[in-house]
Amino acid sequence: MDRALSDSGLPLIRTLHHLSCTGGTVISKCLAAMPRVALLSELNPLNRYGGRFAPTNPLLLLERSHRPLTMAEIREDFFGQMAQVVKICQNDSMDLVIRDHSHSDFCRGDAPKPLTPICDFLAERYGLVSVVTVRHPLDSYLGLIDKDWHTQFTPSTLEEYSQRYLAFLHRYQDLQWRRYEDFCLHPQSFMEELCSLLQVEYAPTFLDDFGCFRLSGDSGRRSNRVIAPRPRRPIPESVQVEVQSSASYTKLLDRLGYPQ
């Protein structure tokens, strides 16, 4: 691999971070369509919200039948699996890109998690090149409501969501971030820049190929061929009231540079 090692001499991994309903799936599909990219979609070793059927994960099955795993045991297993993934990618001359499942860290339960394992774990053994993608928070919150995913955090309000979005931005404040809206307007220039930031090869043919990829989290955009801005979903009256009253929502718009 031309860029298999970071400046520190450690194996290089690219990571992409975004919250649910912010356009991350279609952007990830476009990344997966680039030459020599191997994409792991929605990875998070601390996620315990999946289905009960996990025949390929013996440690998770042990945890469910015996006892909760310690953080040290989870880390050891994660590092072992990642070492194999990195080895395969190096042998196949592929650039490894990890799409983080940040929703697990920031939008589940009573509060954001204190640990973001994709960066916190991997930074111990790998060189990381990372980018954040964002979307207007009203559009992403309406998307969560449409899927009933806003009930996964409490209270399930725009104010609470905005606080969690701000926590997400604070955690990754040192990273470059790019807007989903710009991707929809100018997908080729957006992806060319994103590939440059992530240090992977860009090919304009991704527009012909991205629709062939099937990723987890494919819950929003139904067209697999067309990238274009989408109209905003109808705003429920209760949410409209919060738009006018939520201090954290206003702060979030300012932080992201979206108009009031």
Assigned token pair, 169: 């931005």
| Nearest residue to 15 (alpha-carbon basis) of 35, 33, 37 | 37
Domains of the chain: 12-135+175-223 (3.40.50)
- Contacts of residue 27, defined as CB under 8 A and 6 or more positions apart, other chains included, come to 16, 18, 133, 180, 183, 191, 194
- Contacts of residue 38, defined as CB under 8 A and 6 or more positions apart, other chains included, come to 89, 92, 94, 95, 96, 97
Residue 188 pLDDT level (bands cut at 50, 70, 90):
very high
Could you give the strand order of the β-sheet that contains 12-17, starting from the edge strand earlier in sequence? Answer: 37-43, 95-100, 12-17, 127-134, 176-179
Q: What is the pLDDT of residue 49?
A: 87
Dihedral pair phi/psi, residue 243, rounded to 5°: -55, -35
The model's pLDDT over 29-84, given as tens digits with 9 standing for 90+, comes to 999 999 999 999 999 999 988 888 889 999 999 999 999 999 999 999 999 999 99
Task: For residue 16, give the 3-state DSSP assignment.
Answer: strand
pTM of the model: 0.92
The model's pLDDT over 125-174, given as tens digits with 9 standing for 90+, comes to 999 999 999 999 999 999 999 999 999 999 999 999 999 999 999 999 99
| Nearest residue to 31 (alpha-carbon basis) of 182, 192, 225, 185 | 192
DSSP E strands in 2-87: the ranges are 12-17, 37-43
| Nearest residue to 100 (alpha-carbon basis) of 141, 53, 39, 167 | 39
Give the sign of the dihedral formed by CA 89, CA 95, CA 96, CA 99.
negative
Cα of first residue to Cα of last residue in the chain, in angstroms, is 45
| Nearest residue to 129 (alpha-carbon basis) of 118, 141, 144 | 118
Treating both helix axes as pointing N-terminal to C-terminal, what angle do 137-147 and 158-171 enclose, rounded to 10 degrees? Answer: 120
The model's pLDDT over 86-133, given as tens digits with 9 standing for 90+, comes to 999 999 999 999 999 999 999 999 999 999 999 999 999 999 999 999
Average pLDDT over residues 230-237: 96
Is a pLDDT exceeding 70 seen at residue 219?
no
Is a pLDDT exceeding 60 seen at residue 247?
yes
CA 175-97-4 angle, 5° bins: 95
